[in-house]
Structure 1
Amino acid sequence: MAYEELKLSTPSPILSWANHPLASEETKMAKNVASLPFVFKHVALMPDVHLGKGALVGSVIATKEAIIPAAVGVDIGCFVGDTLIPLLDGKSYPIKNLADCNEEFIVYACTSTGKVVAAKATAKLTRRNASVIKVILDNGEEIICTPDHQFMLRDGTYKEAQNLQSGISLMPFYSKVDKDGYTLIAQPYSGRWQKAHWIVARSGLLGKVPKFEEQRTVIHHRNFNESDNRPENLEFMGNNDHSAYHRNLVERNQHWQSPEFEQKRVTALARKAQTPEGYEYYAARGTQNILQYMQQQPEHFRQAVAGNGERGKQHLVAYNQSEKGRAKSKEIANRFYTCDICDAEVKTPIGLHNHRKKEHQCNHKVVAVLPLDYTEDVYCLTVPEYHNFALEAGVFVHNCGMCAIKTPFNGDQLEGKLKKIRLDLEAEIPTGFNENKDVEKSVTNWQRWRDFQDLHQGVQNLQGKAMKQMGSLGGGNHFIEVCLDTENQVWLMLHSGSRNIGNNLAQCHINTAKELAKMAGNKLPDPDLAHFVAGTPEFQAYWHDLQWAQNYARFNREVMMGRFKRIVEKHLAGGKATKPLLEVNCHHNYAEKEVHFGEDVYVTRKGAVRATEEDYGIIPGSMGTKSYIVKGKGSANSFCSCSHGAGRLLSRNKAKNTYTLDDLIEQTKGVECRKDTGVLDEIPSAYKPIDEVMNNQADLVEVVATLKQVLCVKG
């Protein structure tokens, strides 16, 4: 279905995908929003639209230079077009070129524990004429980006560019090409160099790593370019088969048997022997040969080494006292070694060690952050699995949070285990007003706590509560679900937000906006439409706190999903960790700065999800129906949005007064969940039919996976 323009006399048109007339209160609320002078183009109503606070839930509102603090939001940071992104083919490309190609590619990303991986990504233009700043690093690199873009810190957390300070350590991305042409990547968690093609393999992009009988598994580069580590160029082989393959090539090419090539081969071997890796290799091979000789010819060995100690001592003393020996010792003491990070020449191996420890500490540091007096079009990447990517400048940055993962488990594995999983979930993840008794280490280590003192004064007594609520579900329509798709694959899904701290922050700023409106004598159609004007201190304070709350919400979901995943793995995989086949994160109830119809606007999605052509989204139904994983179609008139669920048909009180416990039991048949009056307001009939909602937004999204709930924990 396409939208219809509602026949309402409002300054801004109202476009609706709901396919049903609005009730009188809903109409009034829509007209109130559309009458605001700063609304851009029109107001878009999604298929799940229903009454909310100030604005309808399921509405998308684009505004110019103002924002209504009725939703929790987060901004998206971006980079200028010539920012270089290193890809697996061994080359780096301007981010604008990647966006223009409109194709999927593979970048380097980093886990929160400092492990570099390879991940699929796409690029896009995100804003036009955006304000930018410059971040200068201690390696001399300069990065120009929007002030709100998040940089990955050395501890795996994120901080916006505008809040970076001199001396802050960032998660480093170091790469180099070794003497054989292979790309090496430094692993931040260990400080060791790893070949990029094995990073690709360990990231699962080549499938399962095979075993070859009585052979060591190696990776062959099909085009013989050792720096091209695209998955299509890599192939697993046994080391003996690999050597035989190359020998076969030698026999077919006389060049490989020429004296010139042999001289190059001998020179390369000698050069390899002089490197630490080559020395270690040849020393190990020599040790193996000596041990084999000792075992096969013991008598000959004993005769050969008889008196070695005495003879060797005499020769060593004489050499050290000679002019040549003293010169050699002096030369070794003054030998310079090259730092493989900054190429500095440092005397002695101990000096090199001390240099690396003092100057690098295996991380980059910020030198300065400078404001710039111009604007530029900016771009960003979407990296669905890891949500960050490496820049050629040598650091990792965040990409542009309901939450769902597709697991490698099959639905048959759930048989007889659903109740045990539900009981474990209810024991491990607090619901409703409950909170964690103990605060786990990952929560106390969250770096955003250091910014808590900068939040609104009205929440300064809530840090302890916020810590205990991190990793809790909350109430209302929040849920944790195990679902099956049409291929019988197991999905894990949850919906939660910024808990009590987010609600309190929002209320503090809403009260401020109302006070300002009253002082200014603004006559608003609804007090909850009080707003902040861009450029004012109140706007900046709200935008800062709103971002903190959204980061809290995202990390809260990550903590819960980590527990959720471990519980399922305990029952289905004996506790063995598994890798998700697909991860989807999407915000709703939030605001962003975006480009629409060629202009910069603030887009508030109140109960809606962003749905550009690159976005994956989640549209859940009720606890007894279906849910959908979707991909956006980039509809301009919806401001690239879609619904965030089915939407309520009945209020909570009306649902409790209309349906009985027997109705709940019948409508949730086949779903492992609570079946008591405490969740009666969440009965499936209290929500709109999800199939109808999906039909009404067929022009906004395409369905990627259809899910059926088999387990549900409600808040």
Structure 2
Amino acid sequence: MPYEKLEITTPAPVLSWANHSLGPEETKMAKNVASLPFVFKHVALMPDVHLGKGALVGSVIATKEAIIPAAVGVDIGCFIGDTLIPLADGKSYRIKDLMDWGTEFIVYACTPTGKIVAAQATAKLTRRNAPLVKVILDNGEEIICTPDHQFMLRDGTYKEAQLLQAETSLMPFYSKTDKDGYTLITQPYSSRWQKAHWIIARSGLLGKVPRFEGQKTFIHHQNFDESDNRPENLEFMGNRDHSAYHRSLVERNQHWHSAEFEEKRVASLAQKAKTSEGYQYYAERGTRNIFQYMEQQPEHFKNAVAGNGNRGKQYLVEYNKTEKGRGKSQEIANRYYTCEICGVDVKTPIGLHNHRRKEHQCNHKVVAVNLLNYTEDVYCLTVPEYHNFALKAGVFVHNCGMSAIKTSFTAEQLEGKLKKIRLDIEAAIPTGFNENKDVEKSVSNWQHWDDFKDLHRGVQDLQGKAMKQMGSLGGGNHFIEVCLDTENQVWLMLHSGSRNIGNKLAQCHIYTARELAKMAGNKLPDPDLAHFVAGTREFQAYWHDLQWSQNYARVNRDVMMARFKHIVEKHLVGGKATKPLLQVNCHHNYAEKEVHFDEDVYVTRKGAVRAQTEDYGIIPGSMGAKSFIVKGKGNAHSFCSCSHGAGRLMSRNKAKNVYTLDDLIEQTNGVECRKDEGVLDEIPGAYKPIEQVMANQADLVEVVATLKQVLCVKG
């Protein structure tokens, strides 16, 4: 349904997507926020709106030059409009031009293990007049971006541009065109070149790779442009079918069949074979053919080479004693090979190998990071599945975290295993006020621990606790769930935040804001609406700590999801690692600096999720109800937002007084979960019906997948 403009008198209007009238306290809270002088345009209320602290949970508040410290947020790192992005069509485009397309396109992304894949992406303007830094690479490329944009390091982790140092090794992106016009890309994990069209296919963008009886599988470029690897231009064929197809194109191939062409072709091949590059090419091709032959016809090969050593030994010994043989050996020893990375000629294949290891280590290195004295509008991509993308400059960067992944498992594989999975999750991931006994290596190595000393002085004694809580769920409405979609595919989902350290940081800054309001004599309708003004020292300190907390929350979810996924894999496939089919990560209860109605504003989403065009999001129901994976529609009036869940219908205390343990057992029938007094306040009846909530925001999001919980672990 469309929004409703509430009939309340405030300087800024209040637009509501809820299907019910606000109660007296909710109306008062909405009026308090909408009366603040720095509120931009209007206040947007999501379908799950209900009472909160200071502001309604489920409200989206855009502000000019001020922010209310009631949420945890992170700024978005971005690039200037001229930044070039290589696409699957073999060309590179300015990121600003990609935004103007308004459609999805295919970029190259990289997994944490260094495997390059292809993925869908969209571009958007994210900030105006942003401060900038220049990152200079050892290949001569320069990248201009915001100081906080994260670059992918060679080990698969990320670091902000402003924290990069000289000699820092980045994840590399090397591409070139071969003699036949095909795009080749080096896989960082193996240092081997791979044809881009097979990267597209192996990424699943062409569907399942078919088999052709008695033939090898080929990929045909429909427009005969071998560098254009857009999925719509690629088609699977058998190798013999592919050859027959080309032969059938008489008009295109008639010259190829002529005696004149054949004579020129043979002469050209002979001439090429005389060059060092040609000799190397034919030697490598011959080697590949021999290995292929050995693999496909092993018995024939064994018979063919039987006695080869004895027959050839005498000939080779005699040949190497001749002047011609010694000359050939000397020629091979002094042959030069060109490094495809830097273009330098290096003697012998071994020398080329050593050159690559010493000079490049198969990555790019940072030369310097310089702060720039001007600002520009900046842009970024959204890459939902992999959250990073390649730049033409030759490196990978993070894109602009509830968390969910779609697995390759099906419902049948879960049968009889849910209770064991739940018990293992509860043993591996601390809940409530509990924390990890030990700090695992992936946690202690987190780069932002070095910044802890720069956080608010009120939390300086909490670093040890924060480290032990990273990888823990917390309490309240936080959860870990195994779900099934309508195709009986298994999804893993969890909801958590920045734990005790995030709460403590927020409380420290809320106290500061209140004290500043008292000193200034500001008469606020609610003390929790105390705010910081942009440009002040307090604002900068708060924004810095918000960024740190939001990064902490994201990594906390990543650590838990890795443990969660490993437990499920242990029970379903004996611990074998599997690749997610889709990954979704989204924040709520946070603030960002964004562009809305052509102006820079701070957007606080309190119990709401960003839903810009093509943004993936998660809208969970209560334990025992449905959940939804969605894509945003970019509704401007909601400040490109949607609800973060069903929203509470009654308080926790009221739920405990209204419902019994029998009610909980009945309402969670079919879900493997705790069924005791400790989670009674999370009973589905205490939340709004999720179907109604979704119906109210049909203009904000489209449903990508509908999920039903079969296992739930509550905090």
TM-score by length of 2: 0.91
Indicate how the Cα distance of structure 1 residues 124 and 664 shifts in structure 2: closer, same or farther if over 3 A, else same: same
Deviates more, 1:124-133 or 1:66-75: 124-133
Residue 554 (structure 1) aligned with residue 554 (structure 2): yes
Residue 179 (structure 1) aligned with residue 179 (structure 2): yes
Q: Determine the C-alpha separation between the residues in 2 that align with 1:698 and 1:305.
A: 77
Instruction: Give 2:319's aligned residue.
Output: 312
Residue 255 (structure 1) aligned with residue 259 (structure 2): no
Indicate how the Cα distance of structure 1 residues 68 and 310 shifts in structure 2: closer, same or farther if over 3 A, else same: closer
The letter of the residue matching 1:532 is F
Residue 280 (structure 1) aligned with residue 281 (structure 2): no
The letter of the residue matching 2:265 is K
Q: CA deviation at 1:239?
A: 4.3
Indicate how the Cα distance of structure 1 residues 59 and 499 shifts in structure 2: closer, same or farther if over 3 A, else same: same
Indicate how the Cα distance of structure 1 residues 284 and 149 shifts in structure 2: closer, same or farther if over 3 A, else same: closer
The letter of the residue matching 1:25 is E
Q: CA deviation at 1:604?
A: 0.4
Q: Determine the C-alpha separation between the residues in 1 that align with 2:572 and 2:52.
A: 40
Instruction: Give 1:512's aligned residue.
Output: 512
Q: CA deviation at 1:391?
A: 0.8
Q: Determine the C-alpha separation between the residues in 2 that align with 1:396 and 1:203.
A: 17
Q: Determine the C-alpha separation between the residues in 1 that align with 2:454 and 2:15.
A: 39
Q: CA deviation at 1:472?
A: 1.6
Instruction: Give 2:235's aligned residue.
Output: 235
Indicate how the Cα distance of structure 1 residues 275 and 242 shifts in structure 2: closer, same or farther if over 3 A, else same: farther
Is the 1:484–1:490 contact (alpha carbons within 8 Å) kept by the matching residues of 2? Answer: yes
What aligned pairs does 1:92-103 form with structure 2 within 5 A after superposition?
Answer: 92-103=92-103
Q: Determine the C-alpha separation between the residues in 2 that align with 1:480 and 1:176.
A: 44
Q: Determine the C-alpha separation between the residues in 2 that align with 1:361 and 1:588.
A: 40
Deviates more, 1:26-35 or 1:93-102: 26-35
Q: Determine the C-alpha separation between the residues in 2 that align with 1:363 and 1:189.
A: 11
The letter of the residue matching 1:282 is G
Q: CA deviation at 1:341?
A: 0.8
The letter of the residue matching 2:653 is N
Root-mean-square deviation (Å): 3.0
> Equivalent residue of 2:637, what SS?
coil
Q: Determine the C-alpha separation between the residues in 2 that align with 1:636 and 1:141.
A: 37
The letter of the residue matching 1:146 is T
Indicate how the Cα distance of structure 1 residues 211 and 17 shifts in structure 2: closer, same or farther if over 3 A, else same: closer
The letter of the residue matching 1:255 is W
Q: Determine the C-alpha separation between the residues in 2 that align with 1:563 and 1:190.
A: 27
Q: CA deviation at 1:634?
A: 2.0
Q: CA deviation at 1:228?
A: 2.0
Q: CA deviation at 1:346?
A: 4.0
What aligned pairs does 1:240-389 form with structure 2 within 5 A after superposition?
Answer: 241-243=241-243, 253-265=254-266, 267-268=268-269, 271=272, 274=278, 276=280, 278-283=282-287, 295=303, 307-308=314-315, 311-315=318-322, 320=326, 325=327, 329=330, 336-347=336-347, 349=349, 351-389=351-389
Q: CA deviation at 1:549?
A: 1.5
CA-to-aligned-CA distance 1:170-202 (integer Å, 9 cap, x gap):
221111112232211112223222221222222
Q: Determine the C-alpha separation between the residues in 2 that align with 1:412 and 1:226.
A: 42
Q: CA deviation at 1:152?
A: 1.6
Indicate how the Cα distance of structure 1 residues 138 and 522 shifts in structure 2: closer, same or farther if over 3 A, else same: farther
Gaps of 5+ in 2: none
Gaps of 5+ in 1: none
Instruction: Give 2:501's aligned residue.
Output: 501
Residue 81 (structure 1) aligned with residue 81 (structure 2): yes
Indicate how the Cα distance of structure 1 residues 461 and 225 shifts in structure 2: closer, same or farther if over 3 A, else same: same
> Equivalent residue of 2:220, what SS?
strand
Deviates more, 1:581-590 or 1:218-227: 218-227
Is the 1:250–1:256 contact (alpha carbons within 8 Å) kept by the matching residues of 2? Answer: no
Residue 626 (structure 1) aligned with residue 630 (structure 2): no
> Equivalent residue of 1:543, what SS?
helix
The letter of the residue matching 1:377 is D
Q: Determine the C-alpha separation between the residues in 2 that align with 1:706 and 1:565.
A: 20
The letter of the residue matching 1:582 is L
Q: Determine the C-alpha separation between the residues in 2 that align with 1:624 and 1:546.
A: 33
Q: Determine the C-alpha separation between the residues in 2 that align with 1:533 and 1:472.
A: 34
> Equivalent residue of 1:219, what SS?
strand
Is the 2:319–2:325 contact (alpha carbons within 8 Å) kept by the matching residues of 1? Answer: no
Q: CA deviation at 1:636?
A: 1.8
Q: Determine the C-alpha separation between the residues in 2 that align with 1:190 and 1:114.
A: 8
Deviates more, 1:648-657 or 1:138-147: 138-147
Is the 1:66–1:533 contact (alpha carbons within 8 Å) kept by the matching residues of 2? Answer: yes
Deviates more, 1:468-477 or 1:273-282: 273-282
Q: CA deviation at 1:42?
A: 1.7
Is the 1:403–1:557 contact (alpha carbons within 8 Å) kept by the matching residues of 2? Answer: yes
The letter of the residue matching 2:63 is T
Indicate how the Cα distance of structure 1 residues 458 and 319 shifts in structure 2: closer, same or farther if over 3 A, else same: same
CA-to-aligned-CA distance 1:201-226 (integer Å, 9 cap, x gap):
22122233334455544433333332
Q: Determine the C-alpha separation between the residues in 2 that align with 1:122 and 1:297.
A: 55
TM-score by length of 1: 0.91
Q: Determine the C-alpha separation between the residues in 1 that align with 2:547 and 2:38.
A: 22
Is the 1:34–1:42 contact (alpha carbons within 8 Å) kept by the matching residues of 2? Answer: yes
Indicate how the Cα distance of structure 1 residues 484 and 32 shifts in structure 2: closer, same or farther if over 3 A, else same: same
Is the 2:88–2:230 contact (alpha carbons within 8 Å) kept by the matching residues of 1? Answer: yes
Q: CA deviation at 1:117?
A: 0.8
> Equivalent residue of 2:256, what SS?
helix
The letter of the residue matching 1:485 is D
Q: Determine the C-alpha separation between the residues in 2 that align with 1:270 and 1:448.
A: 58
Instruction: Give 1:158's aligned residue.
Output: 158
Indicate how the Cα distance of structure 1 residues 8 and 296 shifts in structure 2: closer, same or farther if over 3 A, else same: closer
Instruction: Give 1:456's aligned residue.
Output: 456
Q: Determine the C-alpha separation between the residues in 2 that align with 1:358 and 1:309.
A: 35
